Amino acid sequence: MPELPEVETTRRGIAPHLEGHRVTRLIVRDPRLRWPIPEDLAIQVENQTFTAVRRRAKYLLMDIGGGTLISHLGMSGNLRLVPAETPVLKHEHVDIELDSGLTLRYTDPRRFGAMLWQRAGEVHPLLARLGPEPLSAEFDGERLYELSRKRSMAVKPFIMDNAVVVGVGNIYATEALFAAGIDPRREAGRISRARYQALAEEIKKVLARAIESGGTTLRDFIGGDGKPGYFKQELFVYGRAGQLCKVCGTTLSECRLGQRSTVFCRRCQS
């Protein structure tokens, strides 16, 4: 599943080609995504000009006309820019044709993504209860410490809770916990303030590095500019169960937390 760095990579890739450009036509070939594409979406965006492309958590927010086009890439989706005459392939559900001659094409084989509309002045329910952005000043170790008190759940699903902080998905939660030396199975409420301060800093570092590297290359992700990410080569624990720890040489262990596979080092993380 594309995570925050992959979505930010997509935003950076498509923003220069959308902002200041007018939508000449919207084509919806299959509205059956995770939530149905609004029937009146063409009315909202055609002949309107994109003014900004933003990101909130893993949602892309494309401001245009009287509102915002909200897109989520789901498990296998991607947005890429192609010449208008590019032949349509299977699973390419939406085309947003621009006055530049380019088309923003949404592809989603599993159809778990979304293409929704938010009117100006309103907040879509999907965005209403999100926590702070992990790279913002609002997110720090003190927030993690205060919200974790009396919480018996494991620390990994705790930091993946979007009400606590947005966008810390499975890959980057796993990597940040390793970097901070924290066992992902530990109860969230039993971790000290100092260790949460270290964890918050590692979350910021691992996400910033991934964004600068263009995201993590996974099976289905393609960046908005057509270039895949290259952060995968830097992963210390995610996807490396049974291999040797790059730091101490111990065989990496694996467990399931919150229905997610979790890899960790029994020696480096406590």
Is 93 known as a binding-site position? no
**What would the two tokens of residue 256 be?**
């399931």
Is 91 known as a binding-site position? yes
C-alpha 111/C-alpha 263 separation (Å) is 28
- Three-state SS annotation for the chain: CCCHHHHHHHHHHHHHHHCCCEEEEEEECCCCCCCCCCCCHHHHHCCCEEEEEEEECCEEEEEECCEEEEEECCCCCEEEEEECCCCCCCCEEEEEEECCCEEEEEECCCCCCEEEEEECCCCCCCCCCCCCCCCCCCCCHHHHHHHHCCCCCEHHHHHCCCCCCCCCCHHHHHHHHHHHCCCCCCEHHHCCHHHHHHHHHHHHHHHHHHHHHCCCCCCCCCCCCCCCCCHHHHCCCCCCCCCECCCCCCECEEEEECCEEEEECCCCCC
Which residue is catalytic, options 143, 232, 260, 267?
A: 260
- Is 2 one of the catalytic residues? yes
- Is 87 one of the catalytic residues? no
- Size (the chain), residues: 270
C-alpha 201/C-alpha 209 separation (Å) is 12
Which residue is catalytic, options 6, 11, 55, 58?
A: 58
Is 209 known as a binding-site position? no
Which residue is catalytic, options 3, 8, 97, 175?
A: 3
The answer to whether the beta carbons of residues 237 and 157 sit under 8 Å apart is: no
- Is 85 one of the catalytic residues? no
- Is 260 one of the catalytic residues? yes
**Which residues are known to be catalytic?**
2-3, 58, 260
| Residue numbering of the annotated binding site for DNA | 91, 110, 151
